[in-house]
Structure 1
Amino acid sequence: MPDDAMTDRVRLRPLIVAAAERLAAAGVASPLPDAETLAAHVLGTERMRLALVPMVEQADADRFARLVDQRAARIPLQHLTGTAAMGEIDLAVGPGVFVPRPETELLFAWALAFLETLPHDHEPVVVDLCTGSGALALAIAHARPDAAVHAVELDSDALTWARRNADARIADGDTPITLYADDVTDPALLTELTGRVDLLVANPPYIPDAAVLDPEVADHDPHRALFGGPDGLDIIRAMVPTITRLLRPGGATGIEHDDTNGSGAATLLAAAGFTDIVEHPDLAGKPRFVVGTKPGTP
């Protein structure tokens, strides 16, 4: 006969398999990884260590089931766990702020690689436009504590999340970033940094207005952070003159865009006189971000 303690425990793997089947039926794109992530969240462990937890308490199983119900209703996974990753850091996210996507990790990696090419004769100056949760700015500041990182966000709800994340990174010992409540389309943006910026990254609203989106995005991400006009380029188009003004000669920009408007974003940079323009794909091979260099000698 099992002892009383065992009667309140259930096998974890069958719960995860059943949850994945439920999520797949609900149209979730990554049902098994999501089920495993939710289980790891409930148990306070890493997803890759779930195999070391064969049995769970019934209370944990019940909490897991409730989270699976919410995910099946297409509530974003990151809203349920409360976090999203960028680089080596985790960010707090939830209603009111755009959830960072894995695709943006590629822009982040490019940004770090570019910073490595800079001469060591001055403190690198980095600007992140449309920072949202602060993902790119804070990940860069964590990886490059020698950089002066400035981040701009207009939406008050998103800025609250960015400040929360910035405070958390300071508590963990990271170099503070400078946050601005401002409009990235304002021609007078950050005039004090004119001609001083080495690197400018942006993940602006870029989805064409008529696009059909998954429920996680359409129902939960702020629309202000998503849509960029009929062709998705309205915000990028308005930012390019400011990007040109802010960058020092030899400085570079990387701008994330919709997979339908990459050539348009590249054309905007070319028209502004940028050189070394390269269109980068995401992990699915779709156009995802464009980079360019301001002409001149650093």
Structure 2
Amino acid sequence: MKSTVLVTGGAGFIGSHLCERLLADGQDVLCVDNFYTGSKDNIRHLLDNPCFELIRHDVVLPLYVEVDQIYNLACAASPVQYQSDPVGTTKTSVMGAINMLGLARRKRARILQASTSEVYGDPLQHPQPETYWGHVNPIGARACYDEGKRCAETLFFDYHRQWNVDIRVIRIFNTYGPRLHRNDGRVVSNFIVQALRGEPITLFGDGQQTRSFCYVDDLIDGMVGMMDQDTEIGPINIGNPAECTIRELAETILRLTDSKSELVQHPLPIDDPVRRKPQIDKAETALGWSPKVTLEDGLGETIAYFRHLLSK
């Protein structure tokens, strides 16, 4: 059945892919973005679609629209971006959640919160199951994002318990793919851009810290699957459990780009997690979801995107 779906942060990296998918599924899409980190270039090809509508709006302010579903993705997601305006980051997570939950309550709409693996902080449990409460520095440089997202989850579950709002909560692990911003400071985009330009690869620490990288198409499948089922409210981890070191990622990108860039070590950022790997049993059981795209295949698509972008 055709629905009207609101996507906050819809002009961002993940949001634009989600808007595409929802339109392909036959939905009417309201894309909301304040363009702090989002870009019209990500959604320019959607603007002529009669089922797509763009609204410039900041979720820190209330929004009054008619919708059936809400995907709440609005928030800067890379450390460089969210630390450049930490108060704004916290406001977006907390006040944005309050405003979107209020809209969902008024319209009896189902609402999905795009939470993050950062709620686990620098984890003491490995891999990270949804039952793990996390190890987060509440006053550190990353706290605006980590604690903002943790508070948003609190609000979602309190609105559900107190007012029976129909919620869904996913925790997104490191995601990559086309439309990553070239200067957003995320490790995949950093390494690819540096490799293609022949610049030194910035390796923080000794490169032995690990991450688990999920291709954006797999993430979108999990996100839509979570929204469209009626039994599980979450939280559910959505990520690829194939763990690799940052040094291994850099070496893979150097090989795939045929780059001669050298690896240059820099001090590890404060509170940077040492290990990160999702436990996805819950997603496999409740959603029938698991990632399909290998790291090499996903990096190939992402490298092709950046080659084209840098050639302009």
Give the shorter-chain TM-score range: 0.3 to 0.5
Give the TM-score of the pair, scaled to structure 2.
0.38
Greater relative contact order (Cα 8 A, min sep 6): structure 1 or 2? 2
**Bigger Rg over Cα:** 1
